[in-house]
Structure 1
Amino acid sequence: MSVPVPAPADPTVEAVPGATLRVRIRRDGGFQAFTVARRPAQTILDVVTEIQREQDPTLAYRFACRVGMCGSCAMTVNGRPRWTCRTRVAAVAEDDGLTLEPLRNLPVVKDLAVDMEPFFEKWTAAHGAFEPGDAPPADFAVVAPDSPARRAVDAGIECINCGVCYAACDVVTWNPDYLGPAALNRAWTLVNDVRDRGQAARLEAVSGDAGCQSCHTHMSCTEHCPKALAPTFAIAGLKRATARSALKRLSARHFRRSA
């Protein structure tokens, strides 16, 4: 499900007379304080950009599209992971103040920019790439738009790998090996793709101690997802799928021994 995208605030918009915003940014193990003018329709990304351009050009952060398409601007805003390009200051400022930190559960490159490599390594470990098989199929797969499998895929396919759910996940904090909500959500979309030929390896990859069974169903990923997706339910689907796969393997072994 898509969420309406507000247009980014124009940094040239005249400041609100007499109104200022106190901003604390985590840097080098502590916090550095800044003060910026309040502007109409101001976003968190507008604030960070103004600080970097007007006050401290050494401030590091990441952004690209500014319109909620890429997810690269995600940061922790007053303790909550968010897309900063789509978060209005007026909606989250507390007593005319903001506290900005890098995303949790990821190594910090500098200031507000994190290293996303561990996140994408988990995506790869969960077999997040489509597996077409060794040879093309004899015919096109027919996937009815209203089929249960298609609906399951539709529910999670809009993920853009911004890392917000990963930062919100307490299990990742406790167990750094845990694959995380985004990787498991991706695996679930492929488990429901009848064209994919990598199902056995994928289900095995998401079955171990670092896989879907480690999810505690706190719902943090679903609560924080800016795209209003539900990784928790995708993970629940994987739990059922991996359980069925394990039972089939046990039944097959028992049958071979009995034969």
Structure 2
Amino acid sequence: MNTINVVIIDDEFIVSETLKSYIEEYTPNLNILSVINKPNDAKEIISKLKPDLIFLDIQMPILNGFELLKSFEEINFDIIFTTAYNNYAIEAFKVNAFDYLLKPINVNELQNTIHRYYLKKKNNPLFQYGQVKSLLEKINTPNKTERITVPEIGGLTILQTSEIICLKSDYGYTDIYCKNGSKITSSKALKHFCSLLKNHPDFYEIGKSGIINLNYISKYYNEGTIILENNIKVSVPRRSRKAFLETLQIQ
């Protein structure tokens, strides 16, 4: 079986290193050329290395996986998506015959996906080249993220965005308060989640210290205090109050 040269693209270091270790241990015919954690660097590296296959995360800040693909004039590599994305995206993958891995990645699923990939490649060496444009037209880069991957020290948690009440900055970490009363502390700074949720209509950034889910606002006091579900309090900086009140009137 011929060696397949691979590039991994995922902004989460832990996720990409886990996938790399699984590939090296369980899929010996894959040769990893590069692991890319900065999406903005991906196009240049791919153009230089010319991999046969990329493992591509969708949900990345600044430049997501679909936007990266759109930046190429010609797609001359195959793609396996790695995602915690919503069902609409997954259905589009299926319709267009793209393989995908759901996070957190499972070794057996990785092996099964690679097996399917080899079978498709054997029967039709160019099976994906004409399908990327069709996929991008169908998917149209959804702007409402339904699930997010939350990096923690020692692991990952996948959350439904509808379950998140708010996110608060905590000295380079982020505390995420959930509807069920739990609090998750992420090893990522708040700006990471600002990027992930910037196009989500339910979330609003309160200065540089927090993000709230507008659906969970119970009360607002004129001095700038928001009361959220589970009696969570968030303060709105004076300079941001006018814009926030205008947002509330739109809802």
TM-score by length of 2: 0.29
Structure of greater relative contact order (alpha carbons < 8 Å, 6+ residues apart): 1
